[in-house]
Amino acid sequence: EQLWWGTYPEAGLGTPTGTGEGLWKQSPDDARLVLALDAPSWLVKHPSLPLGDAVSEADESAIHAIDVSDPEAPRIAATIPTGGASACHALLAGGALTLYVAHYVSSELVVIRLGEDGLFLDNSPAQSFAHAGTGPQEARQDASHAHFVAYAPGRHHLLVCDLGTDELRRYAIRPDGLLDDHGIGATLPPGTGPRHLAVRGELIYVLGELSTSVLTLRWDHGAGEADLIAEIPATTVAARSADARDSSGILHVEYAGREVLLVGVRGADVIAVHDLSPEGEARYRGSFDAGYWPRHFAVIGDRLHVGCERGHEVRTYALADVLALAPEPEVGLVQELAYASAPLPSPAFVMPA
């Protein structure tokens, strides 16, 4: 199994880019830098072409189309600026002719058109949508912060997690993939700080980075809105490596007849396992040690891969072990699972090579 990892500068997120970070290729034998890029913190794989898109999370962000036809020597096929600061997430639309990019600092959602060859049709985004607002947590909610883009149930709208305003912004999708701003699809409790979301049927599971909680919402197709129906803590584990906890990612997993949500929590430095009932109710089961500052994680095949940003390592767990995690034996206990480890500086994102 071979993986692509995008990395931050070794000194960490927020430090100057272009200091040796980039695209790494991990094989069972080693991990090595194969393409220098400015802070490629999110990667998107084309569904049918030997191409990927890498988001450079920088003060002046850019998107790079990466030709991976030679996986040992990937190259930049094209680059365009995104027009915003700190691009942090990208979603490739169905049909692979539109790319949606969210910017954390400047908070734009931009739309980039792609050709049949997977390359950019324009020299700049075709659309850019700004947003404004604040939240009660002044240190993190001083302004709007677009963090994540996903399809709403039914795939007629896009939803953008706005960490700064505690809202899910809503955009109607035109047949050509361009968007119309349709306002707000959900308003969450003050101080939630929505970071990521996962969809299951008509249910939306929102990860509150600042509240360290998992919120369940039900989507109303007629109204194009989501209503909050439940909220539970992301983990019972207290902060261990930082003064506070913040959530880093949520993943809906179906495997071998089991259905769970996996939730990363930095500071506590765990991945929490939440069981889903047939009706979709999330129930916390327990948490296991996931290394120092687990940023991004993904299930690829029968393995769970975790990038420990500040620990400068990547960990690989057997998914069967994760799904067999025992119920929490006592409140706040961190459980241990076997894993393989490989050194990697400031890992930010993983996807299959």
pLDDT digits (tens, 9 = 90+) for 289-344: 999 999 999 999 999 999 999 999 999 999 999 999 999 999 999 999 999 999 99
pLDDT digits (tens, 9 = 90+) for 115-130: 999 999 999 999 999 9
Residue 268 lies in a domain: yes
- pLDDT-based confidence at 16, cuts 50/70/90? confident
Residue 222 lies in a domain: no
pLDDT digits (tens, 9 = 90+) for 176-206: 999 999 999 999 999 999 999 999 999 999 9
Residue 342 lies in a domain: yes
Residue 156, number of CB atoms within 10 A of its CB:
12
- pLDDT-based confidence at 19, cuts 50/70/90? confident
Residue 304 lies in a domain: yes
Whether 29 shows a pLDDT value over 90: the answer reads no
The per-residue pLDDT for 161 is: 98
Residue 126 lies in a domain: no
| The pTM of the whole model exceeds 0.85 | yes
The per-residue pLDDT for 30 is: 83
Residue 45 lies in a domain: no
The per-residue pLDDT for 15 is: 83
Percent of the chain predicted with pLDDT > 90: 93
- pLDDT-based confidence at 256, cuts 50/70/90? confident
Residue 191 lies in a domain: no
Residue 248 domain boundaries: 235-353
**Domains of the chain: total:** 1
Residue 37 lies in a domain: no
